[in-house]
Structure 1
């Protein structure tokens, strides 16, 4: 598919938010107990692992842009069996937990803004994927956007 202005806008805003997140601003900080450091540290690592595994599973299909490439295939196995956007999920998990781990309200605010961006970026991406793959609508019904669907 041809990239549109929205593709560049989503990626541009995402890059800016990443840059802001990694600025080491020392204001609005708080302390957390040791047990919470351990828990949020483990979830941060989990989020990074989800990102890395998902990138490997996408292989040559990976792109920072939400519009799928014209000769791509729909990946529905591995991490993508449980969530439609596992890279976004990993970033959400790791950024929120690292914000808490580091005791930074500033980072937590940026992480929440990233969540909102990923929600809208994924909506746009899914419209494009639905146009390219006939079975995408069924995939949406049985797979969670950012987190697995737990059914009885």
Structure 2
């Protein structure tokens, strides 16, 4: 069965692409929920210093997410599949890093690891970083295909941290 007006060869890859995108988004939210709800552990003491560090990192993460969401505007989507005809955003927080929303989620995840103090928190955070890294690389391949300027932008701006993870000329 195909979508009306779509050829069988085009509908199947699009459906697979959407299914992969949905699974990545679902995994991302499940890992964030796990970080928030895994029972507290005893790998380290959660003293005042740890709590202050966690609050600070949580705030930095939240600010990155909010600034990224605001700057994307109508181009925002939870899916790694870019919106059709959306403009490439390279200013504001996107002038410092290409994926500030994902960087903010990772930073906020570290805050939850610090407070959680369990090996399961560390495992969930490492899985989150892996998933977001994979999601970002896939998204960037689509952005490279959609926006000719993305390669030069990626060569100037780091992926999750300013200056780190820039695209190579032939990447």
So what's the TM-score if we normalise by structure 1? 0.88
Question: For structure 1, which segment, 8-17 or 59-68, has the greater mean C-alpha deviation from structure 2 after superposition?
Answer: 8-17
Asked whether the equivalents of residues 65 and 100 of structure 2 are also in contact (C-alpha less than 8 Å), the reply is yes
| 1:99 to partner: Cα distance | 1.3
- Counterpart in the other structure of 1:101: 115
> Is the aligned partner of 1:69 residue 2:83?
yes
- Counterpart in the other structure of 1:78: 92
> Is the aligned partner of 1:41 residue 2:83?
no
Question: For structure 1, which segment, 45-54 or 128-137, has the greater mean C-alpha deviation from structure 2 after superposition?
Answer: 45-54
Partners of 2:64 and 2:95 in 1: CA distance? 13
What number of residue pairs does the alignment pair up? 149
| 1:127 to partner: Cα distance | 0.3
Identify the structure with bigger relative contact order (alpha carbons < 8 Å, sequence gap 6+): 1
Q: Which runs of 5+ in 2 are unaligned?
A: 1-13, 165-171
Q: Which has the larger radius of gyration?
A: 2
Q: Which runs of 5+ in 1 are unaligned?
A: none
Aligned to 1:66, the other structure's residue is in SS state: coil
- Counterpart in the other structure of 1:138: 152
> Is the aligned partner of 1:30 residue 2:39?
no
Partners of 1:114 and 1:107 in 2: CA distance? 10
| 1:24 to partner: Cα distance | 4.1
| 1:56 to partner: Cα distance | 0.9
1:54 alignment partner, one of 58, 62, 68: 68
Partners of 2:106 and 2:45 in 1: CA distance? 21
| 1:32 to partner: Cα distance | 3.5
> Is the aligned partner of 1:121 residue 2:135?
yes
Asked whether the equivalents of residues 57 and 110 of structure 2 are also in contact (C-alpha less than 8 Å), the reply is no
